[in-house]
Structure 1
Amino acid sequence: MGRAVVAADLGGPEVLQVVEAAAVPPGPGEVQVRVRAAGVNPWDWKSYAPGSGARPPVRLGLEVAGVVQAVGPEVRWYSVGDEVVAWPVTGGYADVVTVPQRVLVRRPERLDAVQAAALLGAGVAAAHAVDATGVGDEDVVLVHGASGGVGRMAVQLAVLRGARVIATASPRWHDCLRRFGVEPVAYGPGLLERVRDLTTRLGAVSVAIDAAGTLQALETSIALVADRSRIATLVALDRAAALGILALGHGPGADPGNAVRDAARSQLTSLAADGSLDVLVTGTFPLEEAAAAHRRSREGHAGGKLVLVTR
């Protein structure tokens, strides 16, 4: 028997439990993965919050890195012993998880398992935003929430496309963001004026990517970007239609971008492996301390990604 983390009831991190869980044999097209590390995402703790509609017990964990330990019939691309990264999965907070082969990519040797487990959830969302807004080398891109997992990835992907980037974040993250060749700016009162000051040197903002979801982020984006089809939010999905901007992700009226996100998996792992994409992990926790990881994630100031590691 292996272990798995479940939310035994709706509530806060106090409802999380580590339980015994039998490994599920892989069926046709499925692969059984021994988990080395599992990424922590806000959706994990939102999935068992009061009002979520979930029916406990809830298995948690959307992204993992691990090693293939069994393959089912009709699996063509993976063999026992392959190091892999998987997203999206169900129940990744576990010693073993069984997943469809289509959600896997091989983990390059130069990419650490902990970093790999922190890559795809945020990375595919950022890749979707950069693709949907058509970021190119002529653009000045404003990224809101640039110190978070998705925003930090969006900043780097936009730079890799040759864009000039303005990134909103708390001042304590500004030096970190400058390493990517971007212009950091503090959010809060006066944001619009501070960004406009930067545009006198960088040029007019042509794209805005919202990974913060605040009213200020939306209002600033609309004030600066002439073409609203080049403003995307990954958070404030319920406001997008009324504002005439793109809603990206999983929610009513949003574009899930499945094809773009699926294609991004291998691209992101390659970029992270060769050092073109920096994956910041700001905390690791043993699997049995998932509740502590969720408490820290809920504070909203982790800066990078949190990761659970198995024994």
Structure 2
Amino acid sequence: MPDAHDFVRFSSGFGQRFILTVDTEEEFDWERPLRANGHTLHSVSRLAKFQQFCEGFGIVPIYLVDYPVATSRLAVDILSEPVRQGRAEIGVQLHPWVSPPFEEEVNQFNSFAGNLSPELERAKFTQLRDTIERNFGQPPQIYRAGRYGVGPNTARILRENGIAIDTSVRSRFDYSAHGGPNFRELPLEPWWIDGTGTLMEAPLTTVYTGPLRHCGPWLYPRLWRAPRLRGALARAGMLDRVPFTPEGVTEAEILRGIEVALEERLPLLVFSFHSPSLQPGHTPYVRSEDELDTLYGWWRKVFEVLARKGVRPASIAEVMAATELA
């Protein structure tokens, strides 16, 4: 847990802002064990339409790319110019199982990069980071661990490589049952990691909604073994956990979540989704063209609501420039 003095203080003119992050990655079967090969990159072609869509709303999307995408000629062709012109930003997403060097056994435990040895985590990150800078022409300044798998050595590795923002923490979620980190108690406001003032944690936004939302941090985890009760409370509008993503979250749910986030004065809302959802059939969330239309409609409504409420989009540079220590 960060101390009180570790929380980021933004300049008065920053207000409440949001960023849109895209886990830009290969396609794989979400229901099967991870493999170092056998993936595809069909959805990469859909990045062009999504980029154009975001530009229509004045949004600068942040593409967190992993190794298969970083080495895709098509991805480079689509994203290099928007990144160079400041219409998009590029970041790092480390999927250890598809990132060289390949020294570890591919399994669930090792899919969390923070569980690897410090040397191997550093080697995988450095090779990916350097590949991104070489192919996209910009040094990445933001990072997300695949599967949110940060570990005890991650912050040091990021600082050594000039990363300004980590956005791996998924507050309100616990992955420890699968060998990953537990973020359940971590806050939603950005903070300086280790109090250094050089590496910011910008956690993904997830809020509790409903009349029982103030009990959410205590009550919701205790309902994990009672999914029917948890579902009943959500359907009744009494208590729901709402991550800021179109994947598995309805338009009505995210609008309630935005209201809570603004009421709680969160300075930075962090939205996310997986790029394979831009083409039907690659994720559980988008199986048809109708569901893809729903995804775009979700984003359209979110952008319109945020604009109406005066919540402006932000870039990485704007976020860092607005901090007290910038």
TM-score (norm 1): 0.29
Bigger share in helix: 2
Larger % of strand: which? Answer: 1
